[in-house]
Chain A
Amino acid sequence: MIEINLTDQNFEQFIQSAKNFILVDFWAEWCMPCFVLGPILEKVAEEYSGRITLIKVNLDVAPRISREYGIEQIPTVVLFKNGKPISKFVGVRPEPIIREFLNEMLKDNLQIKDS
């Protein structure tokens, strides 16, 4: 999976032009739970490939966006649809809980890639 990192400069443009659901992982370099959650998110996002695009936003390179979306703790994961945030969770979550979260959000036309 190609890792997409967005900044204050390109975040809005990317989010607004996206056709898929966008799962945004807000993180920072020295945040230990972020390093636990990162690989879990990548694995789960791979299963939803074609339906969800996972992007990463480092608080240190996107302070304005982080503030605008009310990010207070990291990791915070926000799901966007049609350019708008529709749901989020804060902190490390195990794979099944993240799948449950995504299934609930995508339930209208869920199509998981065969693994």
Chain B
Amino acid sequence: MEEIIKNYQAYAEKQGFKLNPNGEAVKRLIKGLLENEKKYGAKYCPCRRVTGNPEQDKAKICPCQWHKQEIEKDGHCFCGLFYKS
């Protein structure tokens, strides 16, 4: 889990945003990503419905297709993993 958090943190910094300052929330989200990986084979966003069709679900793998727009618009991605710096 720590390794995954570090990777997402590094990604966020590189992109100019940050992880949710609430560490417990981050851990919960990472658990969700890992559950989805176990269940569906990839780290799909826990706030989006996974259809089971890999082609259709590709955009939902975290960081998802929409996260940058959501951070720009709302200050955080829909699921709350990434926040605006």
Q: Is A28's CB under 8 angstroms from B78's CB?
A: no
Give the tally of cross-chain contacts (CB within 8 A). Answer: 48
* Residue B49, interface by CB 8 Å: yes
Complex-state Cα separation, A73 to B80, whole angstroms:
13
* Residue B51, interface by CB 8 Å: yes
Complex-state Cα separation, A5 to B32, whole angstroms:
21
Complex-state Cα separation, A109 to B53, whole angstroms:
44
> Interface size on A (CB < 8 Å)?
18
Q: Which residues of B contact A66 (CB under 8 A)?
A: 49
Q: Kindly provide the distance from the CB of A91 to the nearest chain B CB, expressed in whole angstroms.
A: 7
Q: Is A91's CB under 8 angstroms from B78's CB?
A: yes
Q: Which residues of B contact A35 (CB under 8 A)?
A: 28
B residues in contact (CB < 8 Å) with A:
25, 28-29, 31-33, 35-36, 46-49, 51, 78-80
A residues in contact (CB < 8 Å) with B:
28-35, 59, 63, 66-67, 71-75, 91
